[in-house]
Chains A and B, each alone.
Chain A
Amino acid sequence: MKNRVRYTFILPALILMTIIVAFPIIYNLYMSLHIWFVASGSGPHWNGLKNYIALLSDKRFWNSIRVTIIFTVGALGSEVLIGVLLALFFNRQFKGKDIIKTIFLFPIAATPVAVALIWGMMYNYDLGIINVLLKAIGLPPLLWLADPKWVIPALIITDAWQWTPLILLIVLSNLESLPTDPFESAKVDGANSLQVILYITLPMVKPAIIVAAMIRSIDAIKTFDLIYVMTQGGPDIASENLNLYIFNMGFSYFRMGMASTLAIVLFTIVMAVNVFLAVIRNRDVT
């Protein structure tokens, strides 16, 4: 009886998930072993592992890996650092705290295409507010999105604007739920506030920080909307991350086999980073 119930409840969802999720992934894996130029009208040709081998000497692939790493490390690093610092700063009772928490939810919920569009305007050389501010404090204006050196920092700033609040709010809600005893006994023992933060607070919220970093890393590695709307990978390919390269391979050049191969590589990277973070977390928990 119990078994029958269990499967009646879960089977519909399992079947649907198999169709929409599992099947495309298997298809993707199969495609990654083929050459398929979809615009030519002919079907896929078996190519074994040669797609994967071809990647090793593909300069544009390595460029996209480099962009992915710099963007992810820069965005994740600044978001975690600023997010945790802000959470520590906000971790006390004050008037208007609830309103401020709500305000920080807005960037998280905002449509990424709209965010990218507005930041694109803000980075405009002549009219953008950011160069106006730079000039106001006596600094030279920058080309930002049009400058290969500044395009990734510019994208990181926008990403950090949108997602630092997520880290902040996750860590803050964890801080608020901590028991107060360790802090009181540390104060009795004469610890100063920096020591309390370093040796008591941070170790206690470390699991929450890692969870926040996991969630962000999954999305940062796969960033698409932001970059595609703001730069389309440019100037030239200076901001083309792996996800954009896959998109161009598939939907600009219609090389579906190669695009599938790249997609498998991207998936592997996301999985590897998350297994790594999960191992760190579980090591601390036990």
Chain B
Amino acid sequence: MSKSYIKTGLFYIGIAAITILPLIVFLWMFLTGLKTQMDNLAIPPKIIFSPTLQNFKSVFAQNNFLKYLFNSFIVAVFAVAISLLFGLPAAYAIARFKMHKIGLTLLIARMIPFISYLIPWFIIFRKLRLVDTYIALITTHLIITLPFIIWIMVNFFENVPISLEEAARIDGCSYFQVFVRILIPVVRNGIFTSSVLGFIFSWNQFLFSLILSGNRTMTVPVAVFKFISYEEINWGGLAAAATTITLPPLILTLFIQKHMIKGLTSGAVKG
């Protein structure tokens, strides 16, 4: 009896020791953001200190940080919305009419390095004087979100029983009506999951935004990166900025936790 207690105890200690690893980095980031410059330069590092929100306040006060947050938000929302508009009907057609070759092409699109897209798009946008516009950013972010959303949604549409559609069609609904009134509500979980993941991908995107954004449209990952070069020593400010930009994806994760892993793998499982 006592032996199994010890075993269970050890198991939970093991679990705790492993689970602390992902958490401790976030904790360290957050605590560094709460420390004054003096505390951050202390050797050995201070575990007990009086926290201050000064770093967070100055991040929002300087550097147009709110504007960069807004830019990231706008680009992500439009990339996801356009992907849904074009992707949902396509995913339905691929699932219902078994157009698997098109599906495979989408997987290849995901393997192509982003830089392969970036070079041509940079040349084109430069010629059209569209560098540092939302159009340039949304177009390139679509390269990530559109194939991804189609892939997830093919899976969800395949799981809808065809009898559901046939019944509605007998009642006189057209394909389009069936799609909008019957299928979209049925796959709303999938739409939610893929939209959230698409939003996170766009929010976290760095390479496209680094080259194609400028002062007007800079997104937060680029802003934080530029911040590093000026503020090499200001750890508190950097950590506060890093905490702020990574918080939205972490919070969004909580809403889709049940489906997130399935969503991230659905593309590759079929290929």
Residues of A within 8 A of B (CB): 2, 5-6, 8-10, 12-14, 16-17, 20-21, 23-25, 27-28, 31, 38, 86, 89-90, 94, 96, 100-115, 117-122, 126-127, 129, 132, 161, 165-166, 169-170, 173, 211-212, 214-215, 218, 222, 224-225, 228-229, 243, 246-247, 250-251, 256, 259-260, 263-264, 266-267, 270-271, 274, 278
Is B43 in contact with A127, judged by CB distance below 8 angstroms? Answer: yes
Task: Say whether B19 faces chain A, with CB atoms less than 8 Å apart.
Answer: yes
Is A111 in contact with B203, judged by CB distance below 8 angstroms? Answer: yes
Q: Name 18 extra pairs, CB < 8 A, besides A10-B102, A114-B224.
A: A5-B175, A16-B86, A20-B140, A25-B116, A27-B120, A102-B253, A102-B257, A108-B260, A110-B250, A114-B243, A117-B224, A118-B239, A126-B43, A229-B206, A229-B228, A250-B118, A250-B122, A267-B116
Q: A274 contacts which of B89, B111, B146, B150 (Cβ < 8 Å)?
A: B111
Is B253 in contact with A109, judged by CB distance below 8 angstroms? Answer: yes
Is B206 in contact with A112, judged by CB distance below 8 angstroms? Answer: yes
| Residues of B close to A274: CB separation below 8 A | 111
| Residues of A close to B238: CB separation below 8 A | 117, 121
5 residue pairs of the A-B complex, CB under 8 angstroms, read A20-B140, A103-B19, A110-B249, A113-B204, A129-B28
**When each residue 238-266 of chain B gets 1 if its CB lies under 8 Å from chain A and 0 otherwise, what string results?**
11001101100110111001001110110
| Residues of B close to A270: CB separation below 8 A | 111-113
Task: Say whether B23 faces chain A, with CB atoms less than 8 Å apart.
Answer: yes
A27 and B249 CA atoms in complex are apart in Å by: 34
Nearest CB in chain A: distance from B33 CB, A: 10
Nearest CB in chain A: distance from B251 CB, A: 9
Task: Say whether B109 faces chain A, with CB atoms less than 8 Å apart.
Answer: yes
Q: A218 contacts which of B97, B106, B110, B203 (Cβ < 8 Å)?
A: B110
Is B146 in contact with A113, judged by CB distance below 8 angstroms? Answer: no
Q: A13 contacts which of B19, B121, B146, B204 (Cβ < 8 Å)?
A: B146
Q: B235 contacts which of A16, A24, A121, A267 (Cβ < 8 Å)?
A: A121
Task: Say whether B115 faces chain A, with CB atoms less than 8 Å apart.
Answer: yes
| Residues of A close to B32: CB separation below 8 A | 118, 121
Is A105 in contact with B175, judged by CB distance below 8 angstroms? Answer: no
Known: A28-B119, A246-B115. A122 touches B25 (CB 8 A): yes
Is A101 in contact with B264, judged by CB distance below 8 angstroms? Answer: no
Nearest CB in chain A: distance from B181 CB, A: 15
Q: A214 contacts which of B92, B260, B268 (Cβ < 8 Å)?
A: B268
Task: Say whether B45 faces chain A, with CB atoms less than 8 Å apart.
Answer: yes
Nearest CB in chain A: distance from B56 CB, A: 14
Q: Which of B10-18, B58-66, B186-194 contacts A (4 or more CB under 8 A)?
A: B10-18
